[in-house]
Amino acid sequence: MTANDPFIDPPPETADAGGVGSRLRNWFLTGLILVGPLYITVGLGWWLVNWFDDLMRPLMPVWMRSETYLPFHVPGIGLIIAVSGLTLLGFLTANLIGRKLVEVSENLLHRMPIVRPIYRTMKQIFETLFAKSGSSFRKVALVEFPPGMYSVVFLSQSPTVGIADRLPGQGEYVSCFLPCTPNPTTGFYFYARRESIIELDITVQSAMTLIMSAGMVQPGGEEQAKLAALAEAARPSRSPPVQPTMPSA
């Protein structure tokens, strides 16, 4: 027998080296999957807290700042003040006096030529997004766009009578927003016939994750099961080593 005999298994040290490298790679990927989302979440939360603090610091009197009493800045005070102030403002506008003040302020804004269209548009957007009732961005669907391919869209409200009368053909139309990947804040807005769309039984959050991940995270996927399988694959094999066999003469 020669050293290049195909019936002879590779040296044990070669197999062990490949196995160790594979296990190290799996351990690294498992740790990355565990730490990566947590690090990004904490980083975004920390950035949001500091952004609110920087936004509210010029409006805060000196006696409300933590640096007045402590040798360091306490993060989160600006966020607490912003949330408390918005809640108090909503409570005050719920009574008769508050509604009158809001009405007077809006009438003043509506008389400003440049400010009026901006304020009206922003108010309609906020009322649509945060209203308890309504169907804006509550459903996800598939639309054949461009022809021959299907895209994930978010369904908005039906067009108004003035727009619906101008649309060609008969039947009901629905407003569709097609977000782009990986930035869903940009996209295309168009009208489509209701019978031409395919509604999906997934949440808006799942659809957002699908779009931002470019399809790598599918709705209904068992991420925890995949993580467990990856961790299981990273464990060293417990099966006894196979002894090389020699061919019989």
Instruction: For 10-49, write each residue's pLDDT tens digit.
Output: 454 444 545 788 888 888 888 888 888 889 889 988 998 8
Which tokens sit at 136?
Answer: 């804006």
pLDDT at 97 over 80: no
pLDDT, residue 200, reads 87
**Angle ∠(232,237,242) on CA atoms, nearest 5:** 155
**Residue showing tokens 């409570």:** 91
d(CA 139, CA 179): 14
pLDDT, residue 43, reads 92
- Sorted by sequence, the CB contacts under 8 Å of residue 93 that are 6+ apart come out as 99, 101, 102
**Residue showing tokens 């980083």:** 43
d(CA 186, CA 188): 7
**Residue showing tokens 């869209």:** 153
Which tokens sit at 122?
Answer: 């922003």
pLDDT, residue 14, reads 46
pLDDT, residue 3, reads 47
**C-alpha 59, offset from chain centre:** 31
Looking at the chain, the number of H-run helices and the number of E-run strands are 7, 5
User: pLDDT band at residue 7, thresholds of 50, 70 and 90?
Assistant: very low
Instruction: For 204-217, write each residue's pLDDT tens digit.
Output: 888 888 888 887 77
d(CA 147, CA 145): 5
**Mean pLDDT computed over 173-196:** 85
- Sorted by sequence, the CB contacts under 8 Å of residue 70 that are 6+ apart come out as none
Q: Positive or negative, the Cα torsion across 43, 55, 120, 186?
A: negative
Q: Side by side, which strands form the sheet with 173-179?
A: 187-193, 173-179, 150-155, 139-144, 198-200
Instruction: For 228-240, write each residue's pLDDT tens digit.
Output: 555 455 454 444 4
pLDDT at 106 over 70: yes
Q: What is the DSSP letter of 2?
A: -
pLDDT at 246 over 60: no
Helix (H) or strand (E) holding 13: helix 12-56
Q: Which long-range CB contacts under 8 A does 218-227 form with residues at least 24 apart? A: 227/30, 227/33, 227/34
d(CA 177, CA 188): 6
Supply the angle between the helices 77-92 and 12-56 in degrees, to the nearest 10.
50
- Sorted by sequence, the CB contacts under 8 Å of residue 22 that are 6+ apart come out as none
Q: How big is the chain, counted in residues?
A: 249
pLDDT, residue 66, reads 82
d(CA 42, CA 101): 40
